[in-house]
A and B are shown apart, each in its own frame.
Chain A
Amino acid sequence: MILILIIGFSAMLLIDLPRLIKAKQLRLFIVYGGIYVTAFTLWLLFLLRIPVVSPFTLLSDFFKHVLNISY
């Protein structure tokens, strides 16, 4: 599965890299890089079955158990 992940992300980079180079925007490179690394990290954690905290359930639990705002 990790191999499929690496192949998938490599393919993504191959598709997007020409467009990024053509755009010649450092800001775009940085933002793309940030999103790419985040996506790869999350996928790796998911495939290695390392529990990743969902911000959605975290916020929900905060509302329910800390603020006591729920039905």
Chain B
Amino acid sequence: MKTQKASITPLQFMFSITCFLRSSSLLSSFFAPISKTDSWLVVLIASVVCLPFLWAFIMLMKAFPGKNLIEINDAVFGRIAGKIISAIYLWFFLTLTSLNLRDLGGFVGKSIMLKTPQIVIITVFILLCAWAVSLGLDIVTRYSVVFVILSSIILVVTIAATSNHMRLSNFLPILRQPMKNIIQSTNIVSTIPFGELVIFLMIMPQVNIKPKKLGRYFLPGFFLGAFLITLVVARDIAILGNTITIFAQPSFETLRMVSFFEVLTHMEILFAILLIILFFFKISLLFYVSMLAMSYLFRLDSYKPLILPSAAIIVVYSLIIFKSKTKHLEVGRETAPFMWFIFEFLLPLLTLIIAYIRKLPQKEKDARSKEAASA
């Protein structure tokens, strides 16, 4: 099977990870009402808690160089079980795409285009993402560096512009929230933005670098993304304090306070533009990964003919995925951390353990050495 493989540079890969995490700023509404003014600490704790699992991702890539998650599942679990697990992962990728698309539609529909039906916003957006996906991974990830730099500049400018509204006392006392809330928030953060990095197991083989050196770009990308999220959350807490729990979009409210010389006000439009750009990147990447998974699962040469009907499924799935925002928040806070834990941490770890029990990495290495010797 020769599904086309685009190639990306290590730097594109690293900034794609950062951009992917940065685009999860909207998701602070899941954990901010629980951990309140300790949310910044929760992000830091979650980034440490995630490290063993990210290590498992890197080890999987090193053990099976040149193979993506679907191919690894086939190699480790066998043809039938591997296909079943890969089908479950495909559902997971499509669900993530639909959830993010629904979040975008909800945000744009409630904040910017109030009279436009959500279905129109979502459909137009997915068509744009479908176009990017049809052009390949290189196009999807090419501007990740620009997006990260742009979002960082906007972040620094807004911190400077709102510094007069900040109160360091809003952070005190530290660890005021009950331990149960801290644990719940840490679980949410570690699964909802951070654990979603499992999707990069699908594109790691396409990075133009030796598998041994992948960690040198994967981890810095993760740390940079985690740092930016921490800064965003800390800025929001410094300005909003305990009222952070009231707002659905704390960052949006924070930027309402930005004004330059009382002439340029309502800078929340910057947040909106940035979020749309970042969401475009995230949804395109998730869509690409879903298409790639589909093409490998069904052993097709190309995913391109499947883009449009899959986009149709993603749109309708995003419209039916949950009845209301309240339901989404309820699931995101209460059950999603456990559900996603299985896909993002448990399954990859299990794959790694079974691979080593069956000594598959050694067999892979021997097979590659034989090939090199015969060539």
Contact = CB atoms under 8 A, between A and B. Distances in A.
Interface of A: 8-9, 12, 15-16, 19-20, 23, 25, 27-28, 31-32, 35-36, 38-40, 42-43, 46, 52, 54-57, 59-60, 63-64, 69-71
Contacts of B322: 54, 56-57
A27 B298 contact: yes
Contacts of A28: 300-302, 305
A63 B340 CA distance: 11
A70 B341 CA distance: 12
Nearest to B99: A56
Given A9-B312, A28-B305, A71 B337 contact: yes
Contacts of A36: 309
Interface string B287-329: 0000000100011111011101110110011011111000100
Given A23-B302, A25-B301, A64-B335, A32 B309 contact: yes
Given A25-B300, A57-B322, A70-B334, A15 B312 contact: no
A43 B312 contact: yes
B282 interface: no
A31 B338 contact: no
Interface string B18-38: 000000000000000000000
B190 to A, nearest CB: 14
Interface of chain A, main secondary structure: helix
A37 B239 CA distance: 51
Interface of B is mostly: helix
B87 to A, nearest CB: 12
A20 B305 contact: yes
Contacts of B304: 19
Contact of B313 (A20, A31, A35): A35
B235 interface: no
B91 interface: yes
Contact of A46 (B298, B320, B327, B338): B320
B298 A19 contact: no
A64 B335 CA distance: 7
Given A31-B298, A56-B99, A60-B331, 13 more contacts: A12-B308, A16-B308, A23-B301, A28-B302, A38-B309, A39-B310, A42-B320, A46-B320, A56-B95, A56-B331, A57-B321, A57-B322, A71-B187
A18 B327 CA distance: 42
Given A19-B305, A70-B335, A31 B321 contact: no
Given A23-B301, A42-B317, A71 B184 contact: yes
